[in-house]
């Protein structure tokens, strides 16, 4: 497998605090790679640098060999690296289908003026967006709730909608921020299946930050472990579970929800 994303010597400093220090790893095409670590280890900061929501202090992130760090986030999203959020930025007053339609504007062919004046391209876009929203919601098993208001959805469906919105922009890499947070066991297992099918059936490479260790161990091909901004380990789930530095990092922290 070839490297799709390369994190190269990435450091992030906030004043005197080093949130990430000289981080290096590759993400292969079609891989599910999780980034774990105790609270404050630097996971979210790393995700923000990969999606260019914050610049690196030093080092760079490459996508297919091209530098993507320190570009504008929407440029990185257009290239196919798309981040979903813990607190979904879904417009709660919209229905599920409307949210997925609106999300597709990121890859619209028509100009904004075209939408305003109702150009032919804009009309074609709107029809295509609706069709693609229906296809995506069907794929995600969400057709039955397509006309529900997002504000009425339970946690599990809301997370699935976050993924649908991410997929609406046709990503090559999806960065999932705590996709299992706040879910019960059944919801978590459903989400594990859903994320796997996004990878298997739509060819999307997945990176995720997550605290739910059983879910991480189940879903990941590989895991990168951060502690105090440093990468302390990288490997398969079984390698990580048996890694002394990782065990020590978790046992030495106040984060008692490791479940390993
Ligand atoms: N914008 C910021 N300004 C200053 N310090 C920050 C900023 N963002 C993060 N930090 C600090 O950087 C360190 C890493 O934070 P980060 O949020 O990346 O950790 P995390 O591993 O995602 O934590 P958690 O699991 O609790 O979400 C922390 O010490 C945090 O306080």
Ligand 1 proximal residues by C-beta, below 6 Å: 14, 17, 19, 37, 39-45
Residue 37 has pLDDT above 70, yes or no: yes
Q: What is the dihedral of CA 220, 66, 83, 136, to 10 degrees?
A: -80
Domain positions in the chain are: 1-80+172-190+205-260, 89-170
Instruction: Using most ligand atoms within 8 A of CB, pick from 12, 37, 39, 44 the residue to mutate for ligand 1.
Output: 44
Query: 225: pLDDT confidence band, cut at 50, 70 and 90?
Result: very high
Can you give the pLDDT at residue 153?
A: 87
Beta strands 3-14; 58-63: pairing state: antiparallel
How far apart, in whole angstroms, are the C-alpha atoms of residue 103 and residue 105?
Answer: 5
> Nearest residue CA, atom 18 of ligand 1?
42
The reported pTM is: 0.88
Ligand 1, residue 211: give the atom nearest the CA: 25
- The CA 38 to ligand 1 mean position distance, Å, reads 11
Predicted local distance difference test score (pLDDT) of residue 52 = 93
Concatenating the DSSP letter of every residue in 195-210 gives: HHHHHHHH--EEEEE-
Nearest to 57 by CA among 85, 28, 109, 20: 20
Task: Name the DSSP letter for residue 211.
Answer: S
Mean pLDDT of the chain: 88
Q: Which helix (H) or strand (E) holds 203?
A: none
What pLDDT is stored for residue 107 in this prediction? 60
% of the chain residues with pLDDT over 70: 85
pLDDT tens track for 160-190: 888 898 898 889 999 999 999 888 888 899 8
Distance (Å, rounded) from C-alpha 31 to C-alpha 219?
10
Residue 43 confidence (pLDDT) above 80: yes
73-87, 129-143, 170-184: range with lowest mean pLDDT: 73-87
Nearest CA to ligand 1 atom 23: 40
The H-or-E segment that residue 49 falls in is helix 43-50
Write down the pLDDT at residue 13: 98
Distance CA 59, CA 10 (A): 4
Instruction: Tell me the pLDDT band of 213, cut-offs 50, 70 and 90.
Output: very high
Give the position of tokens 């960065």: 175
Q: Give the pLDDT confidence of 188-210 residue by residue, as tens digits.
A: 998 999 999 999 999 999 999 99
Homologous superfamily in CATH for domain 1-80+172-190+205-260? P-loop containing nucleotide triphosphate hydrolases (3.40.50.300)
């Amino acid at each position: 497998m070839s490297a799709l994303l390369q994190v190269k010597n990435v450091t992030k400093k906030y004043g005197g605090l080093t949130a990430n220090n000289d981080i290096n790893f590759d993400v292969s095409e079609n891989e599910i790679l999780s980034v774990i670590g105790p609270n404050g280890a630097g996971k979210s900061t790393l995700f923000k640098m990969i999606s260019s929501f914050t610049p690196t202090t030093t080092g760079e992130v490459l996508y297919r060999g091209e530098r993507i760090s320190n570009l504008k986030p929407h440029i990185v999203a257009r290239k196919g690296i798309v981040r979903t959020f813990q607190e979904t930025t879904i417009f709660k007053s919209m229905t599920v289908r409307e949210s997925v339609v609106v999300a597709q504007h990121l890859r619209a062919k028509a100009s904004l003026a075209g939408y305003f004046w109702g150009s032919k391209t804009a009309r074609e876009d709107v029809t295509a967006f609706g069709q693609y929203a229906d296809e995506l919601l069907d794929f995600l098993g969400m057709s039955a709730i397509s006309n529900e208001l997002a504000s009425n959805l339970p946690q599990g469906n809301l997370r699935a909608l976050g993924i649908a919105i991410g997929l609406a922009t046709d990503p090559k890499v999806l960065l999932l921020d705590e996709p299992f947070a706040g879910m019960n066991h059944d919801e978590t297992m459903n989400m594990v299946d859903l994320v796997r099918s996004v990878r298997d059936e739509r060819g999307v490479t997945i990176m995720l930050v997550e605290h739910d260790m059983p879910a991480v161990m189940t879903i990941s091909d590989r895991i990168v472990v951060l502690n105090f901004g440093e990468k302390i380990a990288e490997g398969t789930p079984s390698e990580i579970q048996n890694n002394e530095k990782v065990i020590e990092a978790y046992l030495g922290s106040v984060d008692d929800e490791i479940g390993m």
